[in-house]
Amino acid sequence: MKFQSLKKNFQFRKVYRSGKSYSNQLLVLYIFKNREGINNIGISVSKKVGKSVTRSRVKRLIKESYRKNMIYVKQGYNLVFIARVSSNGKGYKEIDSSLVNLLRKSGLLINEENNN
């Protein structure tokens, strides 16, 4: 299982414009099918969430949660996770359950009976 990062602004904009969105209390997920056969992940954390240390921590938690769950995720999508202000101060468990909830909502989660 591999994934790449979305880094450029135009990549994020394409997912926002053409993709479908799902949200919950802590995160928003935009998905858009790609032709590459692997998932491209983008993580966006606004300055409203907190200072740079806080934003970096939230990014790391989202990335780690995705890394642990990526074997249960369908391949071939561009995914953008956006952290909401309420994600500030949350621990790994809350971020992880929020991320899994969004993947389940979007229908990208497969083989979830073995998950967790």
Chain segment 20-31, per-residue pLDDT in tens: 999 999 999 999
CATH class of the domain whose range is 3-109: alpha beta
State the burial class of residue 39 (Cβ atoms within 10 Å of its Cβ: 0-12, 13-18, 19+): buried
The pLDDT of residue 116 is above 70: no
Q: Which residues contact 90 (CB under 8 A, 6 or more apart)?
A: 26, 58, 61
The pLDDT of residue 35 is above 80: yes
What percentage of the chain exceeds 90 in pLDDT? 85
pTM: 0.91
Which helix H or strand E contains 97, and what residues bound it? helix 92-106
Mean pLDDT of the chain: 92
The pLDDT of residue 1 is above 90: no
The pLDDT of residue 111 is above 80: no
For residue 110, what pLDDT is reported? 86
For residue 55, what pLDDT is reported? 96
